[in-house]
Amino acid sequence: MTTKERIERNRKAIKENWKDLREIKSDRALEKKRPEQFKQADPDQERLSVLRLFPSIKQKTLTEVIKNRRSTRKYSDLPLTFEEVSYLLYETSRVVSYKESAVFRTIPTGGATNAMETYIYFNNVDGYEKGLYHYLQETHELALLKQGDDLEEEVNEALYKQLRGASIVVFFSAVPYRSEYKYAFCAHKMIAMEAGHAGQNLSLAAEVIDAGACAIAAYRQDLVDELLGLDGEDEFATYAFTVGKK
C-alpha cells in the first residue's frame, strides 16, 4: 500500500457515512452475543483498592486548570502520592453506573459502548515499587500485572525514550468489538475520540494536583501492546500519557 493509499484509507475511517450504517445489520441487530463490558482480572492477581475520597487534594476551578494546562515534558523528582494517583484515575476512567446494555463513565463513550481500558505504570509513587497495573473499572481497583526496577527501561523503550522521569504513565487501550458490535464500520472514529476524551480529563485533573501531563501518540505499538499483555488485534493501545510533578 502506498503512502497516499494509507492516507486515503485513514481519512475514510474518520468520515464514514452514517447513512450506510442504517442500510446494514450490525451484530447487535443480528442478535449476536454481546461483548463483555469490562475486562476481567485473574482472581490470583494482587489488587490495590483505589481511593474514592481525596481529603488532601485542594480543588481548583475549571477556568484555572484549562488556563494552566500545557504539555509537560520535564518533571521534578517529587513522587506522586497514592491519593493523587487515585484521584487521576477517579476523574479519568471510573464507571459512574452501568446496566446490561450500556456503561456510563466520567467521559463520553460512543453509544455507552465503553471501548476503552486503562493501564498505569508506577515509576515514582510514594511507598510503591515500580509496577504495571490494569485498572478494573467495575470495582475501582488496580490489578498488578508486573513489578520490578527493569520495568522503567522497558516502558521508556516502548515510549521512544519519552518517559523523562515521569511519576506514572497512563495507557489507554481499545477493545474495538465493544463498539463494532453496535456501530460496525462507524465505530472506529468514536473509539479514537473516546481516548481523547479520557486524555483531556487526565490532563486537567493533573493540573489540580500541581502536576503536568504529556499526551503521547508516537510510541512503539508492538512494544506497548507486549508490555500490557495485549494481542494487538482484539485489544491494542491507543494513547499514552506521562504524568509527574512540575
User: Where exactly are the structural domains of the chain?
Assistant: 3-245
Rounded to a whole number of angstroms, the distance between the first and last alpha carbons of the chain is 43
Q: Output the pLDDT for position 112.
A: 93
Report d(CA 172, CA 237) in Å as an integer. 6
Domain spanning 3-245: CATH superfamily: NADH Oxidase (3.40.109.10)
22's CB contacts (< 8 A; 6+ apart) are none
Supply the DSSP string of 44-113, one letter for each residue: TS-EEEPPS--TTPPP--HHHHHHH--B-----SPPBPHHHHHHHHHHHT-EEEEETTEEEESS--GGG-
Write down the pLDDT at residue 218: 97
Distances (CA, A) of 203 to 77, 164, 241: 19, 17, 9
Taken as a whole, the chain contains a residue count of 246
Nearest to 241 by CA among 89, 114, 102: 89
Regions of the chain with pLDDT less than 50: none
Q: Among all chains, which residue has been given the C-alpha cell 442478535?
A: 31
Alpha carbons 24 and 16: distance in angstroms, whole number: 13
Residue 70's nearest CA partner among 213, 243, 196 is 213
In 3D, which of 158, 152, 133 has the Cα closest to residue 144? 133
CB atoms within 10 A of CB 12: 11
Kind and range of the H or E run holding 188 = helix 187-208
The gap from C-alpha 114 to its chain's centroid, in whole angstroms, comes to 11
DSSP 8-state secondary structure symbol assigned to residue 186: G
Question: Could you tell me the pTM of the whole model?
Answer: 0.95
Pairing of strands 168-174, 131-136: unpaired
Helix (H) or strand (E) holding 191: helix 187-208
For helices 82-92 and 187-208, angle between their N-to-C axes, nearest 10 degrees: 140
Report the pLDDT value the prediction gives residue 43, as an integer from 0 to 100.
Answer: 87
Distance from C-alpha of 171 to C-alpha of 50, rounded to nearest angstrom: 17
Joined together, the cell numbers standing for residue 140 give 475501582
